[in-house]
Structures are given as structure tokens and as C-alpha cells.
A = this chain, B = another copy of it.
Amino acid sequence: MRHDRISVFPIHPPVSLIVQKYGGTSMGSPERIREVARRVARFVDEGHRLVVVPSAMAGETNRLLGLAKELNPDASARELDVIASTGEQVSIGLLAIALQKLGVKAKSYTGWQVPILTDAAYTKARILAIEERNIREDLDAGSVVIVAGFQGIDDDDNITTLGRGGSDTTGVALAAALKADECQIYTDVDGVYTADPRIVPEARRLDTITFEEMLEAASLGSKVLQIRSVEFAGKYQVKLRVLSSFTDVASKDMGTLITFEEDENMEQAIISNVAHNRDEAKITVLGVPDRPGIAFAILGPIADANIDVDMIIQNASTEGLTDFSFTVHRNEYKRAMDILEKKVKPAIKAKGVEGDDHIAKVSLVGIGMRTHAGIAARMFKALAEEGINIQMISTSEIKTSVVVDEKYMELAVRVLHKTFELDKPPSKETMKP
């Protein structure tokens, strides 16, 4: 894209509108904030127009919510948002004055000053609309505009927050509203990897990953981006890039670009990465009568208790009885078991309820799976050769997940990374189906 522009207008440099989001670690100290300011200034020097979304300084949100919890463990969500939103407000002011110190014109905006309108779901609000007129005026006046992440207001002028990682969503939503050329997410990792480098030392950084793959990877526990921000980017076709704020300011390292599948001439491997997640627990209801409505009879009470269910598996029935398995977040495991034992089991006359909260989910993610047969089979074979028992299997178009005993998680990730040669850059040949 950039090159196209340069060739069309060779004399004028390409001026683009970039939204940059900086995470809490990037904003963690005055020295770190100065680094962020220098990075922003570099882009300004290159002629770009910038909207910057900083998170709260690392640790600040936890400190604030810790104070709140000490005073009232059941605090009203409205007031928690009043408290928590101050972290980002401090950050926008500090970043603005750090930029001014470098001679860069900068102006800060809280969520309500933009305004960023959300629903009224305190602590996990969703952005409904962004009024971009004020920001655009300041950009036109030559200012860097700094917008507080993570926050907004509802229809009644109450302060809301978007939940953990919400600043990613603020960045993407602003990029969508402003039709920015790119949304850059600066964090303490320098991109998306083929696997967690702490588990697989040979893990390789991906230059690109598709939105679909990123969505699967994010929901599997890769902590790089808030999943909602990725959905948002997909919905509004925002070009999203994950980069490190810890590389040298002058570095032209471009991290990992999250692309749309349609970008055909991107290099694309069959398998993008191996993701893992040890936040889940497995529950099996045994000896369930195999009749219509049984899945709802089991999962209805779980949903009523506001417990999210991830994988769901129902085996073929034997003699009119089947086993019904699913996974929940480990934090909800006890509560879910309780509901099943006390309410569901007697109601549906199941034979028993079993649970295990020492499991891990390991997944292969890659859009190549759609067109390549035999990926799952190779995956199961590789795990079997290492003696790793598969407890559950679930597949989507671009992902195959297995549940294994938690103690085999690292081994499974390494085996799959090796089997699918993720340490090697994809060749042009492997790209084509």
C-alpha cells in the first residue's frame, strides 16, 4: 500500500493517520513514558498524524482495585469504574506533557471528553459510538491526540470501563471511527509467535497472522491482544499491528501484522501457531439418557448461573445412554460441579458427574487447515508417539484443539511445534493449497 502511494506521488511523502496503543508496561515509569514520547515524536517527524491510546501505568489498575476491594469486596460496579478509570487519565496527561517537552504539540482526552459512548455494563462495557469531531479538529490543528484507553461514558454520563485489556479495543475503535490507516498495538512482546517462546525456545515470530487465526489464538489464552479488540478490528476491517515498545526507538521493526484472509499475496503457512491454555477444567456427566433436549437440560442451569462453557462434546450413545462433556473456566469449576450434582443429576437421572481441573488445552491454529486434509491425523499421531493421552477433541474450520493432562501441556506444545516445522519460515510452496 505504502509503496503504491509513493510511486503515485513521488514528491510528497505519504502521510497516514496512525492510532498507536501503548500497554501498561510501556507506560510503566517516567523513563518508559519518555521512550513512548520519543517513539511518537519519530512518527510525527516522519509526517504521520497520530492518535495515541495509553494504558494505565503498570500495576496502577491493580493498586486502585486493591484499595477498593479492601474497603468493600462487593463494591458497586459503577464506583469501581469511577476509581479504575483514573489510571488511564493520569497516563494521558503524563504522555501529553512528555510530548510537549519534546516540542510536539499534544492534547489529552478522557473517555467522556471525546466522547466514547458505551452501554451501561460497568466494568465490561461495550463501545457503541465514538464522536470523532473533536479529535479530528485537533489533528487538523497539528496536535497529537492522546485518548484515555479502557473507558467511556454511558447515556447518563456515568463513567464506564471496558474490562481488562480494554485499551486495545479503544485503540481499534478509534482507528475504525477515524478510518485510520493502521492501528499499532505496542506491548512488551514484539509480535505474535508460533508458540509461547517460554515453552518453545525455537518459536518464531510471525510477520503476519490472519484475523481468524488471531481470534482463535487470543481465545486460547495468548495474551497479546484483548479478543474483543480483534473482533472489532475484523468487523471494521482495521489494519492491526502488534509491536514492541521495548525495541530501539529508531528501529523500523514492524512486529506482526494482522491481515485479512483476502490479502492473497501475503506469505501464508498452513499452520500459524500452537496455542495453549491451562485456565479450564473438564466436566463429564455420565450415563445421560440420549433424548432431545438433554444438552439444554444440562447446560441451561450452567448458563443461568452465568458460567461460560467452552468445548462441548457429546459421544455417540450406547444402549440409549451417552456421556456429555464440556469445559468451563477453572475459577467456575466448583460452582459448576455443585449445580450439576445438586440440580442437574437428579433432574435428568444421570449416572454420575466427574470433573478434572488439572487439564490443559493445546491447539493447532491455521487457516491452511481448511484446505489441507490430514492435519488432525498428523497431530494425533505426534501426540500418541510421545505417549500423551488425548481426553477431548474439538475442531473448528481453522483450529484443532485437544484436552490433555496438564502435566503434558509443555511437551505437547513442543511436539506439535516441531512436527509442523513452525520454527522454519513458510516457503512459497507451502502457501498454495
Known: A86-B90, A90-B83, A92-B82. A71 touches B34 (CB 8 A): yes
Segment 105-123 of A: residues with Cβ below 8 Å from B: 107-108, 110, 112-113
A97 contacts B113, C-beta separation under 8 Å: no
B68 contacts A94, C-beta separation under 8 Å: yes
A79 within 8 A of B: yes
Contact with B along A29-73 (1 / 0, CB 8 A): 010011000000000000000000000000000001001101110
A159 contacts B110, C-beta separation under 8 Å: yes
* Interface-central residue, A67, A71, A108, A113, by most chain B CB under 10 Å: A71
A98 contacts B72, C-beta separation under 8 Å: yes
B157 contacts A113, C-beta separation under 8 Å: yes
B72 contacts A101, C-beta separation under 8 Å: yes
A101 contacts B30, C-beta separation under 8 Å: no
Segment 81-109 of A: residues with Cβ below 8 Å from B: 82-83, 85-86, 89-90, 92-94, 96-98, 100-101, 107-108
CB-CB < 8 A to A93: which residues of B? 68, 79-80, 82-83
B89 contacts A30, C-beta separation under 8 Å: no
* Interface-central residue, A33, A74, A76, by most chain B CB under 10 Å: A76
The number of times this chain is found in the oligomer is 2
Cα–Cα, bound, A67→B57 (Å):
11
Q: A interface, by DSSP: helix, strand, loop or mixed?
A: helix
Cα–Cα, bound, A112→B92 (Å):
18
CB-CB < 8 A to A98: which residues of B? 71-72
A390 within 8 A of B: no
Known: A89-B89, A90-B86. A97 touches B68 (CB 8 A): yes
The listed residue (B79, B89, B108) touching A97 by CB distance below 8 A is B79
The listed residue (B33, B34, B71, B96) touching A33 by CB distance below 8 A is B71
B96 contacts A79, C-beta separation under 8 Å: yes
The listed residue (B71, B89, B158) touching A82 by CB distance below 8 A is B89
Please give the distance in Å from A255's CB to the nearest CB on chain B: 26
A75 within 8 A of B: yes
B101 contacts A94, C-beta separation under 8 Å: no
The listed residue (B92, B97, B158) touching A75 by CB distance below 8 A is B97
Give A66's nearest chain B residue, CB to CB.
B30
A72 contacts B100, C-beta separation under 8 Å: yes
A-B contact pairs, 23 of them (CB 8 A): A30-B67, A30-B70, A33-B71, A67-B94, A68-B94, A71-B98, A72-B98, A72-B100, A75-B97, A75-B101, A76-B96, A76-B97, A78-B107, A78-B108, A79-B93, A79-B94, A82-B89, A82-B93, A83-B94, A86-B90, A110-B159, A113-B157, A113-B159
Known: A71-B101, A72-B101, A83-B90. 11 other contacts (CB 8 A): A30-B70, A64-B90, A68-B94, A71-B97, A72-B97, A74-B100, A76-B96, A76-B100, A79-B94, A82-B93, A86-B90
What 10 A-B pairs are tightest by C-beta distance, nearest first?
Answer: A83-B93, A75-B97, A86-B86, A82-B93, A72-B101, A72-B97, A79-B93, A79-B96, A30-B70, A71-B98
